[in-house]
Amino acid sequence: MNLFALLDQAASRHADRGAVFVGTRQLHTWAQVRDRALALAATLRAAHEPGTRIAVASENRPEIVELMFATWAAECVIVPINYKLHALEMKQILDDSGAATVFASPKIAAGLTDVAVEVLDSAEYTARLAAEPSAPPRDTDPDALAWLFYTSGTTGRSKGAMLSHRNLMAMTVSHLADFDDPDADCSLVHGAPMSHGSGLYIAPYVLRGARQVIPESAAFEPDEFLDLCEQHPGCSSFLAPTMVQRLVATGRPRPANLRTVVYGGGPMYVDSLKKAMAAFGPIFVQLYGQGEAPMTITGLRRADHLNADDATLGSVGYARSGVDVAVVDADGAPAAVDEIGEIVCRGDVVMSGYWRNPDATAATLRKGWLRTGDMGSFDARGYLTLRDRSKDVVISGGSNIYPREVEEVLITHPEVTEACVVGAHDEEWGEVVVAFIVGTADAAELDAHLLERIARFKRPKRYHHVDELPKNSYGKVLKRALREQLAR
């Protein structure tokens, strides 16, 4: 099993149809993408053994698609690097993965001064495309590594989750079974970084021969994104919750061809989700996943959003096809309905471990189960609700307080645009709840708002008004940075 087969199929069935677009401009047909990938593969094979890591550090660019399939055709391992990382963070990933060849966009290459890189639109790169194409791979072991997925590192140094062809095929099948049903008259518009979520979704859409649309800006600009969803047919996209909010903030209606927005990777507050559905209609799908089980642990399908109560909208849905999901207590025994414990999962989608990191692997994979580090509970219907990562839970005077719950309420205040709740050390209580607020509502107004809606003991003892919340390059709020700020 080799993921190159997905491109091979698309090229056989849809040879002359447009495959890769930049903005509205068609760059290549499916037959051309296959030819380019096999030529690139020949040059990689000539230089590297199977299993060699090939890195690509670039903002969203069309070459990422062909390089991914070229790397797989050469039975090598792609290591996509988020373009928003600092050069030192990129260097850490390159060193850790031991990447033998590093492709980089001109912009990234300029910042990666002490690394030998090949620039994506250089003469060297173009010369590769003239090589005699390699034969498609025939006998790849399904468990061979396909992708080293570097985690976003919100809890420390970035680790490389080892994803095999089997893992990504399981993700692909599950996406097509649960979430979306594209065909050759559809498009995947890349809003989020192709090094992560948006790039993982290349596989299912290539299998169906759906267009790969890369915005001209190579990034996420809400108006440009919405324009592209007018101009391309049957558009789907994976977006982080903050990107969905930015689309809503444009005040524009749903573009005629925008069919599906998959959101996830971080909390989508119920209030924000309702606003998004009011603006764009029932096009939303939620995923809960992590690099270690790419895009696939639980989900809420489009239909699950219709006439749904707040408990459903605030949940992360139910187990994805082909995935076992459980909540376990501290001893690893299954938790009761509504009881909070650690979320674990298993299935073909789960990584085989962390690259060259047996200690982290042993701590995370237990008897085939992936320990997600996320806390949650199942309701009687099998809907899972996330209760923050275990380390984010605030224990104040012996009571567990789940920041997400307080944030959900704060965000419903009309004068709050963003809220983040963390614990701060306190002599008397052990920890107290502290809220960081973007918005103009003052402490008394916020207290009054909370007291009408949640238990008094969950109320923040302090509010800090800030212009913005610190976020990493994936748009995830850096709670650690806020806690450190409080400790200082």
**Contact residues: ligand AMP, CB under 6 A:** 151-152, 264-267, 286, 288-291, 316, 372, 374, 386, 389
Are the C-beta atoms of residues 212 and 65 closer than 8 Å to each other? yes
Amino acid (1-letter code) at residue 226: L
Minimum Å gap between C-beta 93 and ligand AMP is: 14
Output 144 or 295, the one with its CB closest to ligand AMP: 295
Residues 157-179 as b/e (b if ≥16 CB within 10 A, e otherwise) read: ebbbbbbbbbbbbbbbbbbbebb
Q: 174 or 372: whose CB is closer to ligand AMP?
A: 372
CB closer to ligand AMP out of 174 and 187: 174
Spell out the residues 6+ positions from residue 484 whose beta carbon is closer than 8 angstroms to its own. Answer: none
H-only helix segments in 14-164: 30-47, 63-73, 87-97, 106-111, 123-128
Q: Is 32 helix (H, G, I), strand (E, B) or coil?
A: helix
Closer to ligand AMP at the Cβ: 412 or 473? 473
Beta carbons within 8 Å of 123's beta carbon, 6+ residues apart: none
Distance CA 479, CA 477 (A): 6
Least distance CB 272 / ligand AMP (angstroms): 12
Residue 132 Cβ vs ligand AMP, minimum distance, rounded to whole Å: 39
d(CA 124, CA 372): 42
* Smallest distance, ligand AMP to C-beta of residue 146, A: 17
| Residue 382, helix vs strand vs coil | coil
CA separation for the pair 5, 445 (Å, rounded): 58
Nearer to ligand AMP, 289 or 460 (CB): 289
CB of 321 to ligand AMP, least distance (A): 17
> What is the CA 307 to chain-centroid distance, rounded?
27
- Smallest gap from residue 389 Cβ to ligand AMP (A): 5
Tokens found for residue 462: 């302090």
Query: 233 vs 266, which CB is nearer to ligand AMP?
Result: 266
**Comparison of 62 and 265: residue with beta carbon closer to ligand AMP:** 265
The b/e string for 198-219 (b: 16+ C-beta within 10 A; e otherwise) is bbbbbbbbbbbbbbbbbbeebe
Beta bridge partners of 386: 376
* Secondary structure (3-state) at 14: coil
State the nearest-atom distance from the C-beta of 371 to ligand AMP, in Å. 10
Nearer CB in complex with ligand AMP: 60/296: 296
> 182 CB contacts (<8 Å, ≥6 apart)?
188, 204, 205, 208, 210, 234, 236
Residue with tokens 């963390």: 422
- For the chain, state the CA radius of gyration: 23
Nearer to ligand AMP, 351 or 441 (CB): 351
Smallest gap, in angstroms, from Cβ of residue 289 to ligand AMP?
6
C-beta of 139: minimal distance to ligand AMP in Å?
31
Name which of 217, 220, 216 is nearest 242 in CA terms: 220
Nearer to ligand AMP, 4 or 355 (CB): 355
Tokens 């979306």 -> residue: 180
Nearest to 119, CA basis, from 102, 129, 104: 104
Choose between 218 and 386: whose C-beta lies nearer to ligand AMP.
386
The pair of three-digit structure tokens given for residue 359, joined into one six-digit string: 């200690």
Which CB sits closer to ligand AMP, 32 or 174?
174
C-alpha distance from residue 168 to each of 130, 346, 350, 457, 464 (Å): 29, 14, 9, 44, 42
C-beta of 485: minimal distance to ligand AMP in Å?
21
**Smallest gap from residue 429 Cβ to ligand AMP (A):** 26
What is the CB neighbour count within 10 angstroms for residue 106?
Answer: 12
Beta carbons of 2 and 13 less than 8 angstroms apart: no
